[in-house]
Chain A
Amino acid sequence: MMMPVIATSTTPLVIIAIYLGLLLALALFSTRLFRGTSTDYFVASRSIGPFMLLMSVFGTTMTAFALVGSTGKAFERGVGTYGLMASSSGLIHAACFFLIGIKLWSFGKKYGYVTQIQFFRDRFESRGFGYLLFPILVALVIPYLLIGILGAGKTIRGVTKGMFPETFTGDPAWIGSVPSWLTGLVICGVVLAYVFSGGSRAAAWANTFQTIVFMCMGLLAFYFISQKLGGLSEAIKNANPAHLVRDPSELELTGKNGPFTRHIGVPPLMFLTYMLIPLSVGMFPHLFQHWLTARSAKSFRLTVIAHPLCIMIVWVPCVLVGLWATAAFAGGIEGLGPKNKAFTGLPNQDTGAVLSLMVKFLIADPVIVGLVTAGILAAIMSSLDSQFLCLGTMFTNDIVLHGKPKGHYSDKQVIVIARGFVICIVLLTYVLSILNPQNIFDLAVWSFSGFASLTPLVFAALYWKGATKAGAFSSVIAAMGVWLYFFSLSGWGGEYTVLNGVMPVAFSFGAGALAMIAVSLASAKPSAETVNKFFPDL
């Protein structure tokens, strides 16, 4: 069904431009604190305090998923979305920060690591292991980056629909909207500007600002939408009843390509095995880098405790808005009126646009629309900057500098190399974002599943003296082999489960864990020197 063109004020774009300007100004201010050393560029001289660590870790973890994905998934699957993705993350993310983050920070502090691979190379006494892990981590981060850029494109497309009917005439369903390639270009340019100039310190400042912005704007959208729908109780009354329970059911709908079935609810096995996916934070290289920026281990305390709370503050309102949208998009909300018939035409695969369309059509105040959209972009960019930076850091330290004698490059040369890599990665990701049309949230789950499959590696490295080099190689190869197998079966990125709802991550995680245990038990133990280094007698 084609959506009609709606004349739109350009005020939201002005607000977004002001927001991006403020962000750049703040980030560039933070570069005045830049100490000019590579340590400052990569890990902010390990000087970040508790509040900034919480904000930067939370902002980095919550990408387009936080506002856009949560609303879209609740609209699609119903109330089970929160338990599926949010409450489990509150428990497991914090567990990873506590059990993995503090230990890795300690080793990073003690032995001067700035990347995960440096730690794994030493722990498993193998330079080659770094060359195995490096391309895998890069390959898993890039889809994660794409999620952000594509998510930004979809959001702006929804908000600007009908804004420039004579300039942007490409896609008839989104006529007059700013195309995704242009949004991606602007977003990449802004993030590149501050990551290039200030590195990790600028990213931490920018993330703190952006996390505050997206949390506040999410609540703002929630308040105004609920008011427009007649209050909280009225808003939920019209929601599709099937979305208020977790029992699986099906809804027959008609989209622009004909009839289709929407699967509502969450199958029990999916709900159970989905709990493995938040383990991914234990292996995110960009999160590892944030952990290393902490001034002291005490900085972690606030992050561990407040992370589940921050998730709740963001996700509960967004899930409710997604439930309310099941009424709005069915044309069931009284008072929407004929001019907002566009609501009924939401394409099936564009659930990521639910929040921005709800804000645009229900609140219909261009200033609020601009503010909320700025919040969505903040959530997206607060992940992008860390990911760009971490890939630049890994290329520099794990490939270029690895094996070179100390002093081979001057500190300034190291920063130049890192900045060069950051530019290359931004360009590569931008080009891929133009080429990749996949459903971004399914792609995200695959990226998270890949990282989660690698967590037996980091757990064993930190907690099992008997974990060996051969075990580490086997674990990574087995986990990635199984992950790749299911990824291909999914059609390279679609939603995919086996055995009535089991997430593929259950198999890839299990394969990685089994391989680590079996091969480590059967292979040569690590040297006493390595065991003493990573399991000090305390």
Chain B
Amino acid sequence: MSAKGIIVGLAILLGILHQDFWNWDDPSLVFGFMPIGLFYHACFSLAAVVLWLFAIKYAWPTKLVEWAEQDEDNERINGE
């Protein structure tokens, strides 16, 4: 599987993990102050950081960007 495919798969997996139905009725506290439902989703945010880090590294649209940056600005302002 390509790097892009793995990243898409991981994004879908995160989408599923976001539901965390197993924590819904759990009132326990992590570190004595943070409800586990909040702690889990804070960790989820960090997982999203890692996912997008991988996406930047392995799925960056290099060719598109080079194509876009070939020419100088050609502003559309003031008419067609």
Contact = CB atoms under 8 A, between A and B. Distances in A.
**Contact residues on B (Cβ < 8 Å of other chain), bracket:** 35 or more
A356 B52 CA distance: 34
Given A39-B73, A105-B68, A305 B53 contact: yes
Given A247-B25, A297-B68, A538-B63, A308 B75 contact: no
A91 B48 contact: yes
Contact of A87 (B18, B35, B76): B18
A208 to B, nearest CB: 21
B6 interface: no
Interface in B29-80: 29, 31-35, 37-38, 40-42, 44-46, 48-49, 51-53, 55-56, 61, 63-65, 67-71, 73-80
Contacts of B37: 79-80, 82-83, 244-246
A233 B48 contact: no
B45 A246 contact: no
A308 B33 contact: no
B27 interface: yes
A339 interface: no
A397 to B, nearest CB: 6
Interface in A270-307: 271-272, 275, 296-298, 301, 304-307
A444 interface: no
B63 A245 contact: no
B41 A82 contact: yes
A241 interface: yes
Interface string A395-426: 00100010111111101001000000000000
B64 A320 contact: no
B52 A98 contact: yes
Contacts of A45: 73
A319 B41 CA distance: 12
A93 B59 CA distance: 17
B9 interface: no
B55 A98 contact: yes
A103 to B, nearest CB: 7
A341 to B, nearest CB: 27
A504 interface: no
A111 B74 contact: yes
A236 B44 contact: no
Interface in A235-280: 235-236, 241, 244-247, 268, 271-272, 275
A312 interface: yes
A232 interface: yes
Interface string A316-328: 1001100100000
Most buried by B among A87, A114, A272, A304: A87
Contacts of A297: 61, 65, 68-69
Contacts of A311: 45
Contacts of A309: 45-46, 49
Given A236-B35, A305-B53, A91 B15 contact: yes
Given A232-B33, A236-B33, A309-B46, A245 B78 contact: no
A193 B70 CA distance: 37
B48 A87 contact: yes
A110 B34 contact: no
Contacts of A469: none
B41 to A, nearest CB: 4
A214 interface: no
B56 A301 contact: yes
A38 B67 CA distance: 25
A134 B47 CA distance: 37
A109 B78 contact: no
Nearest to B76: A112
Given A305-B56, A308-B49, A312-B45, A538 B67 contact: yes
A199 interface: no
A110 B71 contact: yes
A231 B52 CA distance: 34
A106 interface: yes
B33 A233 contact: yes
A88 interface: yes
A114 B76 contact: yes
A250 to B, nearest CB: 16
A118 B67 CA distance: 20
Interface of B: 11, 14-15, 18-21, 23-27, 29, 31-35, 37-38, 40-42, 44-46, 48-49, 51-53, 55-56, 61, 63-65, 67-71, 73-80
Interface of A: 38-39, 42, 45-46, 79-80, 82-83, 86-88, 90-91, 94-95, 98, 102-103, 105-107, 109-114, 118, 231-233, 235-236, 241, 244-247, 268, 271-272, 275, 296-298, 301, 304-309, 311-312, 316, 319-320, 323, 397, 401, 403-409, 411, 414, 536, 538
23 contacts: A39-B73, A42-B77, A83-B18, A91-B18, A91-B44, A103-B61, A103-B64, A112-B74, A113-B76, A236-B34, A246-B25, A275-B15, A275-B18, A297-B69, A301-B56, A305-B53, A308-B45, A308-B49, A311-B45, A320-B38, A403-B79, A408-B78, A414-B77
What are the nearest 8 A-B pairs in CB distance? A106-B68, A232-B33, A406-B79, A538-B63, A112-B76, A308-B48, A312-B45, A87-B41
